[in-house]
Structure 1
Amino acid sequence: MKSYEFKKLIMSGYRPVVKMKEDVYLYIEESVDPFMMGRVIGVEDANYSDSYGYILDMSEFVKYNKSVTITRWKDDLGFGTKTWFDTNHYPEDHKETLYFKLENDIPFEIVDNYDLVKEYLDSEESAPYMTWLENLVIKLRN
């Protein structure tokens, strides 16, 4: 879906849950990682006439997002040992505006059914999401 098409949906009041695609780094270098989730709660015009900013509220998905984040941020020695959550770049209110050009495809997918993610978020599980999911599959197979 093109960015300008997605903007129409958001302007109509639609507030979808989205999951970042694996190639999100082609569009955004310093914030979200692949597979992170959030709810798009608004759109704003960028300072450039060829882009829009989509306001992503990740507060529902902090636990999940921490389980899929990547250690790519540099520490004081210059090594990529930190995640976005370990830096002062992660927004305290869990909201980030992501900018995309009008004609580009959006680098996330709309997630209509995220029942398993909700179940993980409601659990007391401290393991990463993928580990929790693998354990659930193993339990169902037995």
Structure 2
Amino acid sequence: MKTIKLYELVSEGKKPIIKFNDNVYEWIEESVDPMMMGKIIGASIEYNEIKFLLDLNPFESYNRSVARHDWRDDEGHSVLSWFDTSFYPKNGIAAIYLPISEETEIAFDFIEEDSLLNEYAKVPQEISYVEWLENEVKQLRSK
């Protein structure tokens, strides 16, 4: 799914749960690690990027378990995780930025396997989410 399409869905009130993949470091620095999870709770367009607000609070204990200890301490040793630094947001809400025209898979995957939003994300977005939902309902009614 293109990031602009996800922006539109979030603007309509959708709050998907995501899991960061191994490509995350190519796009997002000084924050999340692969395998970390979060819930997108807001989005805005800033220049040529989309800023997604990510609620990490429901997943903090899990995220701590998969956090990489690649941050340096005062002595230069890579022993700290993001959680041990001043970069981790005190309120558990992080901002991530992705290019408008990129695919979301460059950094994360949707993890709600049984959600309708996840099904929609897997098909080419030539129609809006509402149109796609209406088509799904029409197909069910015709059976």
Q: What is the TM-score normalised by the length of structure 2? A: 0.75
Q: Partner letter of residue 51 of structure 1?
A: E
Measured in 1, the distance between the counterparts of 2:99 and 2:77 equals 31
Measured in 2, the distance between the counterparts of 1:26 and 1:17 equals 21
Secondary structure, counterpart of 1:67 in structure 2: helix
Structure 1: stretches of 5+ with no match in the other structure = 115-142
**Which position in structure 2 is the counterpart of 1:34?**
34
Once the two structures are TM-superposed, the CA of residue 113 in structure 1 deviates from its matched residue by 4.7
Once the two structures are TM-superposed, the CA of residue 33 in structure 1 deviates from its matched residue by 0.4
Measured in 1, the distance between the counterparts of 2:110 and 2:9 equals 11
Measured in 2, the distance between the counterparts of 1:23 and 1:51 equals 17
Please say if 1:101 is aligned against 2:99: yes
Which digits, 9 at most, give the CA deviation of each residue in 1:7-40, with x for residues without a partner?
1111111001110011100001100000100100
Please say if 1:59 is aligned against 2:54: no
Q: Partner letter of residue 16 of structure 2?
A: P
Give the number of equivalent residue pairs. Answer: 112
**Which position in structure 2 is the counterpart of 1:92?**
90
**Which position in structure 2 is the counterpart of 1:71?**
69
Q: What root-mean-square deviation, in Å, do the aligned CA atoms of Structure 1 and Structure 2 show? A: 1.3
Equivalent positions of 1:12-23 (< 5 A) are 12-23=12-23
Q: Partner letter of residue 71 of structure 2?
A: W
Secondary structure, counterpart of 1:71 in structure 2: coil
Q: Partner letter of residue 104 of structure 1?
A: E
Which contiguous aligned blocks of 4+ residues in structure 1 show a shift greater than 3 angstroms?
A: none
Q: What is the TM-score normalised by the length of structure 1? A: 0.75
Measured in 1, the distance between the counterparts of 2:41 and 2:18 equals 11
Q: Partner letter of residue 70 of structure 1?
A: R
Once the two structures are TM-superposed, the CA of residue 45 in structure 1 deviates from its matched residue by 2.1
Structure 2: stretches of 5+ with no match in the other structure = 115-143
Identity of aligned residues (%): 36
Secondary structure, counterpart of 2:29 in structure 1: coil
